Amino acid sequence: MGESVLLAATLTAAMAPAQGQSNSGYDPRSWSYDQARNVLVSPSAPDQAAGGEMRPAWSAIPKEVVDFAEAQPKGSIVINTTERRLYYILGNGKALRYAVGVGKEGLEWSGRDTISSKKDWPEWRPPAEMRSREASKGRFLPVRVAGGPNNPLGARALYIGNTLYRVHGTNQPWTVGQANSSGCIRMTNEDVIDLYDRVKIGAQIIVRH
């Protein structure tokens, strides 16, 4: 999948399956590991101030129940990446709207698929090729990084089909509401826990750009 096959975000557009889009977006192999701090750093990590201080305090964007006139099955997820919002369909013309972080320019994608699995505090296992590559640079990655506050996948992950794309939490909550990820859909840990408890495996997910 390349930028040339990004689909129009209209209700009537035929949406390509997300399976064909895994090469240009979210790819966990692009993360790096800070051994000194035992922290994984995503490509979209924010700039740091002198002395390693993080950006100033941020305010979470609260979820809210909103009107949603589009006919989609109850329990579905609809993500509008331009709006940077995720809608969980409640039925009866209502949806629960959450703020999300989306892919930065050039890494946007769209498609229709289903939620194939769900993981609580997902772990991360760097591929052998990545560990070998990083070792040649003097950076030694762990074989496995347990789920927890230092893991970029955050508190929960919803896996989209058989792709590398996920809806997941983050240890960088200030990035939620922005377009600066590598194609993943990220939420605050509080919101992804709430969504995780609602969504069923097999639920439809639509991503529009």
Beta strands 77-80 and 166-168 are: unpaired
Q: Which of 184, 185, 199, 205 is catalytic?
A: 184
Establish whether 168 is a catalytic residue: yes
Annotated catalytic residue: which of 166, 168, 186, 208?
168
Residue position matching structure tokens 């495996």? 201
Provide DSSP, the chain. Answer: --GGGPPP--TTSPPPBGGGGTTSS--GGG-EEETTTTEEE-TTPPP--GGGPPPPP------EEEE--S---TT-EEEETTTTEEEEEEETTEEEEEE-BEEPTT----EEEEEEEEEES--B---HHHHHHHHTTT----S-B-SSTTSTT-SEEEEETTSS-EEE--S-GGGTTSEEESS-EE--HHHHHHHHHHPPTT-EEEEE-
Our answer to whether residue 209 is catalytic in this structure is no
Q: Which residues have a catalytic role annotated?
A: 168, 184
